Amino acid sequence: MIRNGISEEVAMVIPGHKTRSVFDRYNITSYDDLVEAGEKIRDGRERIKRQAKEFDHRTATASDETRADDKSDPVN
């Protein structure tokens, strides 16, 4: 019912679920939910790979920022 757009409150009343825990017990994950989760994971991994190509982490170093801050330090 939830996957078809019926509110949770109504979906609990129709079968007579009086508590949220009983409702959750019968709200079993479907195969389509698992497939969708896998697709989201794949899409996230692909996005991270694209971002890594756009920003080469090896060229950005903390030492560059540290050097800029150290100019006011009389020890260096």
Per-residue pLDDT at 11 exceeds 80: yes
Per-residue pLDDT at 32 exceeds 80: yes
Residue 15 has which token pair? Answer: 């079968």
- pLDDT one-digit tens code per residue, 60-72: 555 555 555 555 5
Per-residue pLDDT at 23 exceeds 60: yes
From CA 58, how far away is CA 38, in angstroms rounded? 30
Would you tell me how many other CB atoms lie within 10 Å of the CB of residue 58? Answer: 6
From CA 11, how far away is CA 6, in angstroms rounded? 6
Q: For residue 74, what pLDDT band results from cuts at 50, 70 and 90? A: low
- Locate tokens 């100019």: which residue? 71
pTM attached to this predicted model: 0.43
State whether residue 11 is helix, strand or coil: helix
pLDDT of residue 20: 87
